[in-house]
């Protein structure tokens, strides 16, 4: 993308709720692990002046370029890194970015990525079966769709997409190979299970499963969450916005586990793990978008925000 091009319109999800949860303050250090188009980051940068610093991370080089342009006014306060947040601790260490007073994850896919047909994320636009956040990685949706055995493909769709028709979809896909485009795949899935009642397209869950698998989203999230403990200063906030049940479950389990002391099985006579509480959950009730937000930004309707504080 040329730096002279018009920047895409970007509406951050749960905007005010996120800033409140992070407790953004002047002069502090914050990490945006999913920089994207820089919507949340821009607001954070405005609030941490003077002398505050933001470290922005994103695996997508196109998002990095857009964010650099949007945040150009704050160059002296910003470090931008094109990498996967699974490397969070190393990135903070390499940039001497300690202590960290708040870490934000806004998970999932951006509207910008969905709207670019060539990225292959959308079943509503003709494009290649790609779905990579980082175009330099080897695994693509094409590899999975055209080479995975039927049983492995079905298991992937069931596990990551929570699709009850996973085996039938996998059978139709393998019988239809080679498959070369997003719309072709979407038509095959629709043929396999028909149009479903409700508002979601029959290909929604399968495309979600493929994207998660291609980008190792759950594995990378689990890895990154563990590293937040070593990065956050005492009293620092961890804020995570997720968009589907697998992500939210993983985040909830992590936060809950880190509020506990001993994690040994009940049968253990004495504690051998030495685990101590390292997080405090700020709100037991998950934060969801308001009705007004879901009306103005329908893609926000599945968002869930959780927040915890470092002991």
Asked whether residue 281 is assigned to any structural domain, the reply reads yes
209 pLDDT higher than 50:
yes
Q: What is the pLDDT of residue 112?
A: 74
- Is the distance from CB of 133 to CB of 139 less than 8 angstroms? no
pLDDT average, residue stretch 12-17: 94
Q: What is the CATH number of the domain that holds 194?
A: 1.10.150.170
CA distances from 307 to 17, 22, 41, 257, 294 (A): 10, 8, 17, 14, 21
pLDDT average, residue stretch 73-100: 97
Asked whether residue 111 is assigned to any structural domain, the reply reads no
Tell me, yes or no, whether 128 and 191 share the same domain: yes
Tell me, yes or no, whether 83 and 207 share the same domain: no
Asked whether residue 179 is assigned to any structural domain, the reply reads yes
26 pLDDT higher than 70:
yes
- Report the Cα 310 to chain-centroid distance in Å: 21
Tell me, yes or no, whether 77 and 62 share the same domain: yes
Look at 284 and 100; give whichever has higher pLDDT.
100
Q: What is the pLDDT of residue 288?
A: 96
Q: What is the CATH number of the domain that holds 278?
A: 3.40.50.150
Tell me, yes or no, whether 199 and 223 share the same domain: no
Tell me, yes or no, whether 75 and 201 share the same domain: no
Among 191, 215, 239, the domain boundary falls at: 215
305 pLDDT higher than 80:
yes
- Is the distance from CB of 42 to CB of 70 less than 8 angstroms? yes
Domain count, the chain: 2
Asked whether residue 2 is assigned to any structural domain, the reply reads no
Q: What is the pLDDT of residue 196?
A: 67
- Report the Cα 191 to chain-centroid distance in Å: 30
What's the longest Cα–Cα distance across the chain?
66
pLDDT average, residue stretch 42-54: 97
Name the β-bridge partners of 281.
Answer: 308
Task: Report percent pLDDT > 90 for the chain.
Answer: 84
Q: What is the pLDDT of residue 82?
A: 97
pTM of the model: 0.94
Q: What is the pLDDT of residue 299?
A: 82
Domain ranges, residue 204:
116-215
Among 162, 186, 215, the domain boundary falls at: 215
Among 170, 186, 215, the domain boundary falls at: 215
Burial 43-62, CB ≥16 within 10 A → b, else e: bbbeebeeebbbbbbbbbeb
Tell me, yes or no, whether 279 and 232 share the same domain: yes
Asked whether residue 1 is assigned to any structural domain, the reply reads no
Q: What is the pLDDT of residue 208?
A: 96
pLDDT range class, residue 259, cuts 50, 70, 90: very high
Q: What is the pLDDT of residue 11?
A: 75
Asked whether residue 93 is assigned to any structural domain, the reply reads yes
Taking the CB of residue 197, how many other CB atoms lie within 10 A of it? 6
Tell me, yes or no, whether 153 and 286 share the same domain: no
Q: What is the pLDDT of residue 2?
A: 41
Look at 261 and 115; give whichever has higher pLDDT.
261
> What are the pLDDT digits (tens) for 215-235?
999 999 999 999 999 999 999
Tell me, yes or no, whether 90 and 120 share the same domain: no
105 pLDDT higher than 80:
yes
CA atoms of 224 and 262, how far apart (whole Å): 22
Tell me, yes or no, whether 24 and 50 share the same domain: yes
pLDDT average, residue stretch 77-98: 98
Q: What is the pLDDT of residue 135?
A: 93
pLDDT average, residue stretch 227-244: 97
Q: What is the pLDDT of residue 8?
A: 58
CA atoms of 194 and 85, how far apart (whole Å): 38
For residue 280, give the nearest of 303, 301, 304, 307 by alpha carbon: 307
Asked whether residue 123 is assigned to any structural domain, the reply reads yes
Tell me, yes or no, whether 164 and 196 share the same domain: yes
Interacting residues of 143 by C-beta distance below 8 A, sequence separation 6+? none
Asked whether residue 6 is assigned to any structural domain, the reply reads no
């Amino acid at each position: 993308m040329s730096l002279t091009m018009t920047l895409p319109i970007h509406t951050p999800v749960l905007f005010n709720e996120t800033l409140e949860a992070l407790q953004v303050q002047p002069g502090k250090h914050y990490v945006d692990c999913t920089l994207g188009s820089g919507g949340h980051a821009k607001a954070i940068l405005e609030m941490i002046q003077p002398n505050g610093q933001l470290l922005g991370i994103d695996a997508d080089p196109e998002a990095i370029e857009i964010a650099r342009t949007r945040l150009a006014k704050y160059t002296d306060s910003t470090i931008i890194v094109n990498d996967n947040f699974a490397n969070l601790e190393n990135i903070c260490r390499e940039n001497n970015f300690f202590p960290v007073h708040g870490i934000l994850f806004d998970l999932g896919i951006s509207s910008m990525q969905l709207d670019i047909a060539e990225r292959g994320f959308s079943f509503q636009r003709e494009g290649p079966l790609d779905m990579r956040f980082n175009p330099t990685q080897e695994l693509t949706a094409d590899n999975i769709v055209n080479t995975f055995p039927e049983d492995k493909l079905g298991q992937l769709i069931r596990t990551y997409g929570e699709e009850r028709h996973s085996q039938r979809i996998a059978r139709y896909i393998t019988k239809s190979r080679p498959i070369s485009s997003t719309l072709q795949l979407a038509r095959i899935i629709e043929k396999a299970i028909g149009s479903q009642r409700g508002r979601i397209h029959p290909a929604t869950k399968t495309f979600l499963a493929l994207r998660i698998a291609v980008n190792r989203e759950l594995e990378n999230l689990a890895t990154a969450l563990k590293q937040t403990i070593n990065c956050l200063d005492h009293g620092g906030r961890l804020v995570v916005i997720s968009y589907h049940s697998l992500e939210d479950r993983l985040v909830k389990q992590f936060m809950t586990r880190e509020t506990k002391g001993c994690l040994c099985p009940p049968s253990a006579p004495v504690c051998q793990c030495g685990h101590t509480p390292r997080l405090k959950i700020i709100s037991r009730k998950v934060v969801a978008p308001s009705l007004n937000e879901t009306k103005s930004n329908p893609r926000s309707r599945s968002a869930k925000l959780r927040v915890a504080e470092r002991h």
